[in-house]
Every structure is written in C-alpha cells, then in structure tokens.
Amino acid sequence: MPGSGYEIARFLYCSGLFEEEVAKTYRHVAEITRDANIKCLLNYIADDSYKHAAMFKALGGYLTNVDRSVFEDCEKVLGSLWRNITENSRRIRGVSEIGDQELLKLIDGLEKFEGFVAEEYLTVLNVKTIELMAQETGLPIEPYVMIFEWVIEDEKRHEQILKIIKNHVLHG
C-alpha cells in the first residue's frame, strides 16, 4: 500500500493507466457486441473509465514532478492485478466476435473486477491520498474528496450496469 507522496503519485498514475486499459477493453467489447442496448451500456462504462484515467494521471502528475517514464512498470506498483488486467485486456481486444456465453463469462469477471476496484479506491485513494495531499502540497482537499467519492460511486454503478447486461443476455 502506498505511503509516501512519491508512492501515492505512482499509484495514482498507474491507476490511470490501469483505468485506460479497462476503458479500451469495454470499448472493444461494445464494438464487437451485436446488441445495441449492451453496446450503449458498455460504452457508458468505457467513457467513465477514460474519465477516471485522465483524472488519476493528472493528479499523480500534480503530486510529484517525477518523469512519467518511471511509471512504465506498473506491475510493481499494482501487483498481479496489473498483469491480470493487461493480459486479459489484450486477449479480449484480440477477439473479433463475442457470443452470449462468452459475454456472460466476461461480465462475471468484470463484475468481480469492478467490486475490487471500488474497494481499492475507497481504501487507498480516498484515505491515503487525501491525507498526503493535505500534508505535502497544501492543496485544498475538499474537491478531491468529492471526486474520489464520485469515482467510487461510478465503480459501484458499473457493477450494477454489468448485472443489467447479464440479465439482458440471460432473459432477453
């Protein structure tokens, strides 16, 4: 778990890259899905994930002036979660068609992922980052508390959307 300002900045920046990978995956699945309703819902999640990515990367850059090339190996920062999501993301983006059974399997995995991400952001970002921002930067923390809360709400909403998609696939 991150502790110093530098570690927090690395965590934030890598979280941004992570969210970007997730967004690309959602966007790709939306593109190869035939159902217009599912496409719309997956694109909604992708848009949110791109928004989260931009915010995390910007905030990580604000907290420290370290060159972005230091963050290339995010697996050291995020652990096996990074490796798993990047490997699965690349595998999924290599698929050109997706049937209902494959989509259901993918949705199951994404539901677990969204729950984990919401919990991770809640504990690490909301608590540690805000404390350090207040101590090290003098940055007014209220807007960021609100933004982190919104990101967590978005992640929980993504879980709900995935359940809606799953129900739609199962029951038409």
Predicted TM-score of the model (pTM): 0.83
* Of 18-32, 39-53, 113-127, minimum mean pLDDT range: 113-127
Q: What is the three-class DSSP state of 90? A: helix
Residue 35: pLDDT band with limits 50, 70, 90? very high
CB-CB contact of 10 with 71 (8 Å) = yes
Alpha helices in 33-141 (DSSP H): 36-63, 75-78, 80-93, 100-120, 130-132
CB-CB contact of 86 with 151 (8 Å) = no
Q: Residue 7: count other Cβ atoms within 10 Å of its Cβ.
A: 16
Q: Which two tokens stand for residue 8?
A: 């927090």
Q: Residue 121: count other Cβ atoms within 10 Å of its Cβ.
A: 21
Residue 120: pLDDT band with limits 50, 70, 90? low
Q: Is the pLDDT of residue 44 over 80?
A: yes
CB-CB contact of 39 with 48 (8 Å) = no
Nearest to 60 by CA among 48, 78, 41: 78
- Indicate the fold that domain 5-171 takes in CATH: Ferritin (1.20.1260)
Q: What is the pLDDT of residue 1?
A: 41
Q: CA–CA separation, 90 vs 139, rounded Å?
A: 37
Q: What is the three-class DSSP state of 1? A: coil
Q: What is the pLDDT of residue 87?
A: 83
CA dihedral 149, 87, 74, 1 (to 10 degrees): 50
